[in-house]
Structure 1
Amino acid sequence: MPIHVQALTRRGFLAGGAAAVAGLAVGRGAIGAEGDANRFALLSDTHIPSRPETEARGVNMTRNLQRVVGQLIALERKPAGVIVNGDCAYLKGLPEDYANFASCVGPMAGAGLDLHVTMGNHDDRGPLYDALVMQEPDRAVVESKHVSVIESEHANLFLLDTLTEVDVVTGELGREQLGWLAGELDRRGEKPAVLFAHHNPQFTPPEEGARWSGIRDTEAFFELIAARPQVKAYVYGHTHRWSIGKRDGLYLVNLPPVAYLFEEGLPNGWVDAQLGPGGMVLELRAMDPGHPQDGQGVALEWA
């Protein structure tokens, strides 16, 4: 399952009963009056280095994450959870990277914010678990993958794992994880589903001799989705680009990076997501409040 850092002031994510026996953490989004069980903060590509002073592409990544954490803590109406959709670490998922990451996100627990982290290509599961030891599952549901489901009032959120090898750009879900996902979606067909993983879909194979930069098994993944119409959106990071598109009725949401950009002029930051009975509203919170896309709102409407 992805890493879950549970807030000190509430118990929104259960670890008992049949779910624990199966090795699957199922969140049910029950929070106090100060928060909103249908609101989630979506982050991606924090790229936290071992040393807080380290910069890349003119950006201090540690400072950016600390700023975002401060914004989340200051929210009057707290979200049910904060999802960091992969690439928590800078490049190679070093233990020192995760020690710095844990220090950055630590204040969220005392503020009543639950954190969920999926795996990106610059992450390493072992050192991440060492830094957040209390969240390591007793037994993985999918071997060598970290998956979970967050059940909310209006949708089920599936957190998937596309990490194949640390510091290798290619992503893959794999046959076992796809089989698990199909079964869990079929058991939860009564409610819309939103899928999260780090890598972008890649529908065209790379040129001969080149690596896949997105999900290597995109075709099998999207065949699975097409057969299950309750899946309404796929949310990913990896490309460091904020965009929303649609393919065959499925929303494709590319989260901006919290860290640095690959292309000048694009926004970095995080996304405020509000689930409702008929869809999800996204609002960009740019690191630069003067960016023309800061505050941009987009309504995703379920068919």
Structure 2
Amino acid sequence: MSLHLIPASRRRFVQASLATAAVTLGCPSLMAATEESADHWALLADTHIAADKNAVSRGAHMFDNFNKIIDELLAEENKPLGVIINGDCARLRGRPGDYATLREAVDRITTAGLPVHMTMGNHDDRDPFYGAFTKQKPDAVLVDGKHVAILPGRHANLFLVDSLNIVNEVSGKLGEIQLQWLAKSLAEHSDKTAIVIGHHDPQFLPKGSTAKVSGLADTAKFIDVLHSQPHVQAYFYGHTHDWKLTKTSEGVLLINQPPCAYVFNPKRPNGWVLLEVQVETLAVELRALNKQHPQHGESHTLEHRFTTVS
């Protein structure tokens, strides 16, 4: 499973289902809400937290940026069902000190009663990661060497995948075993819209291309899995430190999350994304750290590709 920090008051709602080779996590707010109300999720990516709280990269103070975002999401009127940090949680190589500092900030979120879910990016390292979050190591391996999970909602299920291949190597890979798990899990949860979340970007290269792969090495196979299930609405990814929306040839949304840390292009925004899922629509809104950025507050509302079965 992905690393899940569940506040003590909500842990009794956690259920493991090995029959479907997935972990399903629930929370009181989800169960108490009405069928018509929207689900809200706070989507973060590329926090790049270093052991040194004062570390700066490309002009960005990573620890301060993360804490500013935490301030914002804790002030949200509609509290999210959970906070998802989509990979590259650590600075470069996923050192123990990086995760110790990360834990200090993340504790602010869980203390406020919100679950935190994290995926693995190429700058993460699983062993030190679990060293800092010892109690969160899963009892059963669901996909060998990977961290996967299903987060349920009223109108859509979120599928978290693990694209970390080699620590501190830019490209990522899901692998055959995880792709089989994803295909099986999507098929077994076809009664609702599906949203997939993973760190690496899909990289579409011409057949026979010898170009360096900086994104997802098995993009073609991954997209085939998404296309095989008509209820798949979107894939959220980080890694490229950008904010943009595109679509696959068959209409699956590809949503590039902005980084919490630094941008590669100084004209692009950093920040986080508020995801709102309603009965018939999915909406994303950019919450830029720089409130004067022209794209701050930019939102997109899209109808589900698949109508939820009642």
Q: In the alignment, is the contact (CA less than 8 A) between 2:2 and 2:160 conserved in 1?
A: yes
Letter of the 2:147 counterpart: H
1:5 paired to 2:1: no
How far 1:105 sits from its partner (Å)? 1.1
How far 1:211 sits from its partner (Å)? 3.4
Deviations 1:133-154 (A, max 9, x none): 1111012111001000011100
Deviations 1:182-206 (A, max 9, x none): 1111111111100000000011069
Partner of residue 249 from structure 1, selected from 244, 251, 272: 251
Q: In the alignment, is the contact (CA less than 8 A) between 1:6 and 1:13 conserved in 2?
A: no
How far 1:29 sits from its partner (Å)? 4.2
Letter of the 2:239 counterpart: H
1:217-236 correspondence runs (5 A): 217-236=218-237
How far 1:45 sits from its partner (Å)? 0.2
Q: In the alignment, is the contact (CA less than 8 A) between 1:23 and 1:139 conserved in 2?
A: no
Aligned residues: 300
Give the match's secondary structure for 2:81.
Answer: strand
The whole-number CA distance in structure 1 between the counterparts of 2:95 and 2:20 is 30
Q: In the alignment, is the contact (CA less than 8 A) between 1:43 and 1:255 conserved in 2?
A: yes
The whole-number CA distance in structure 1 between the counterparts of 2:5 and 2:139 is 15
* Matching residue of 1:183: 184
Gaps of 5+ in 1: none
The whole-number CA distance in structure 2 between the counterparts of 1:268 and 1:8 is 31
* Matching residue of 2:280: 278
* Matching residue of 2:308: none
* Matching residue of 1:31: 29
TM-score (norm 1): 0.94
1:123-272 correspondence runs (5 A): 123-204=124-205, 208=210, 211-247=212-248, 248-272=250-274
The whole-number CA distance in structure 2 between the counterparts of 1:225 and 1:103 is 36
Query: What's the C-alpha RMSD, in Å, of the aligned pairs?
Result: 2.0
1:12-23 correspondence runs (5 A): 13-15=13-15, 19=17
Deviations 1:79-125 (A, max 9, x none): 00000000000000000000000001111111111000000000001
Letter of the 1:55 counterpart: V
How far 1:25 sits from its partner (Å)? 2.2
How far 1:277 sits from its partner (Å)? 1.1
Give the match's secondary structure for 2:29.
Answer: coil
Q: In the alignment, is the contact (CA less than 8 A) between 1:12 and 1:27 conserved in 2?
A: no
The whole-number CA distance in structure 1 between the counterparts of 2:172 and 2:279 is 32
How far 1:130 sits from its partner (Å)? 1.1
Give the match's secondary structure for 2:8.
Answer: coil
In structure 2, do the counterparts of structure 1 residues 193 and 34 end up closer, same or farther at CA, with 3 Å as the change threshold? closer
Letter of the 2:263 counterpart: L
Letter of the 1:5 counterpart: L
Identity of aligned residues (%): 42
The whole-number CA distance in structure 1 between the counterparts of 2:27 and 2:237 is 21
* Matching residue of 2:297: 295
How far 1:21 sits from its partner (Å)? 7.8
Q: In the alignment, is the contact (CA less than 8 A) between 2:21 and 2:181 conserved in 1?
A: no
